[in-house]
A = this chain, B = another copy of it.
Amino acid sequence: MGLSPFVLNFFRAILVASSSQGNSDLAVANQIHPLRPQSGFGGYYVAGVSCLSWRLGVETNNIIGWKTVPEECEGYVGNYLLGGQYRKDSKVVTYEAYEYAKSLRVRKKDLWIFDIDETSLSNLPYYAKHGFGVEPYNPTAFNKWVATGKAPALPESLQLYNNLLNLGIKVAFITGRSEEQRDITQTNLLNAGYHTWEKLILKGPSFKNKTAVVYKSAQRKKLENNGYNIVGNIGDQWSDLLGDNLGDRTFKLPDPVYYIS
């Protein structure tokens, strides 16, 4: 159905990785995708730049406003995402989130905010075909991918989502996807396993030229004005987790592929 063997291997890797743990994850993932990890702990060096340091700089919000992944880091980022470490890093985040959630005395209007892209759903099948963030963002191509509605769940986030619902915490999605993408987004979420939500908030025309920080802060404020207590907030971008009405605790998933302010 138009999916390259590379992308099919990605799905297989996701599936296998989801059903195993620890070292075996990594071993299996390494067998079934064509990229190879860089040797040594220092990462991939080009002209004195460490791709490891670049990624840490991005994840800690020290490097901001960047447009594309450094070209020299394409192999490194591809390996990171498909080789197992991305999934392990995500697992630690959602583990901490769940441990925190279990410590709460849940009230009726407690709410957890989920971002969608690279948080609830993964666009890795798209980025694997588009240079893992090295190519400049192409809204036409990306929206075409979104319109397929085939983005898989990030398995760690889906597990957190189910765990939170079981604790009695409600979930709302706030996404930078546009209001016109509501139907396909809803279909995709349902197909990926997100079977219920309190709100699905997409970016309407009045926020068109606003940053994610402004848009998402305004939506969270509205939710709190409506009586919800935002007890947690998870996203892959710092713009999901900065601004106002952030929630009692925020969780940052990894994303070395793109930056949204």
Contact = CB atoms under 8 A, between A and B. Distances in A.
Interface of A: 21-23, 26, 37-43, 45, 47-48, 50, 52-54, 56-57, 59-64, 79-80, 83-85, 88-89, 91-93, 96-97, 250-252, 254
Nearest to A24: B48
Q: Considering residues A38, A43, A62, A254, which has the most beta carbons from chain B within 10 angstroms of its beta carbon?
A: A62
A92 B45 contact: no
Query: Interface residues of A: mostly helix, strand, loop or mixed?
Result: mixed
Nearest to A249: B64
Contact of A79 (B39, B41, B85, B251): B41
Q: Considering residues A23, A42, A43, A97, which has the most beta carbons from chain B within 10 angstroms of its beta carbon?
A: A42
Given A37-B40, A39-B39, A41-B79, A56 B89 contact: yes
Nearest to A252: B60
Contacts of A251: 62
Q: Considering residues A41, A43, A61, which has the most beta carbons from chain B within 10 angstroms of its beta carbon?
A: A41
A42 B84 contact: yes
